[in-house]
Amino acid sequence: MALIPGVSRSGGTIAAGLALGYSRVAAARYSFLLAIPAVLGSGGLELSKIGGVDSPSWAPTILATVIAFGVGYLVIAWLLKFLTTHTFLGFMIYRVALGSAVFVAVGSGVIS
């Protein structure tokens, strides 16, 4: 469920930060820090649903969590470094192009 369908939490918080005059890096950093409680909360909720005798082994879950954390950390570090010398223009073009393609596909009946 989203406040505005199609707008990601990070996209919305970064856009708000930029509108308030924050630098690209500061807006992105704040956005990713703001995601920590939501990710931990949703992860904790899902973990609480897994318990029981028929639950899968914890080893794959822990391994997947560690790998996801590592990859996520590296990607966020790369993005923050990227934003020191680049703008969000490429991401904006991608979002507009993808949104337009989905709009056309739904309008023409290719996607229902």
Percent of the chain with pLDDT over 90: 55
Give SS3 for 20: coil
Who has greater pLDDT, 4 or 12? 12
Q: Are 24 and 87 in contact (CB under 8 A)?
A: yes
pTM summary value: 0.71
Cβ atoms of 33 and 25 closer than 8 Å: no
Task: Report d(CA 104, CA 100) in Å as an integer.
Answer: 6
Compute the average pLDDT of residues 70-92. 93
